[in-house]
Amino acid sequence: MMTELEYFEHAITLEKYMAQMESNQEKTYAIYEKFDLPDHPELFDLLKQKQPKILAITEDWCGDAMMVNPILRKIAEAGDVEVRCVYRDDNPELIERYLTDGGKSIPKYVFLSQDGDVLGSWGPRSAKVQDMVEEKKSRLPEEADPQYKLHWKTVIGEISDRFTSDPELWQDTYEDLSKTLKESLA
């Protein structure tokens, strides 16, 4: 069984991952270009001092990853930290270590020390984003309803639209991810 550090060492960089995306690439880069990274010198100084390795478990078809990966990339660039990505579906044994309420939700970010010790993890979304998603899903009919699939597509479209256009969601995601990163490195 591979360690998280071994996964990291065999993974691709976040930059390469984004460059070779087959789904959501345009939206991911749009968020990357539009997200204004807050001035947060204490976080960036901490990252530069501790130099964690960040292992991202992700897939390019995932709407959450589409929104959060560009935010993580901006944090990593400001803190001079390397992020490497593995695909969830190709690494079932890894995602099994980082389930969310029993599910294989992504993205998941695993924070590692220079020696490869797991310091913490984050993902797939902040509480505020989760609340928004749950509110949208609460309007769905029962799965047995013949209109369920149509409504499901509409809800997913609404969520994706918010992910790609709502700076408040980006800011909340940044704050939640930054908080967890700082706590993990303390």
Tell me the whole-structure pTM to 2 decimals.
0.94
CATH of domain 4-125+167-185: 3.40.30.10
Q: What are the residue ranges spanned by the domains of the chain? A: 4-125+167-185
- Tens of pLDDT, residue by residue over 164-182, are 999 999 999 999 999 999 9
User: CA-to-CA distance for 46 and 158, rounded, in angstroms?
Assistant: 36
Per residue in 87-131, pLDDT tens?
999 999 999 999 999 999 999 999 999 999 999 999 999 999 999
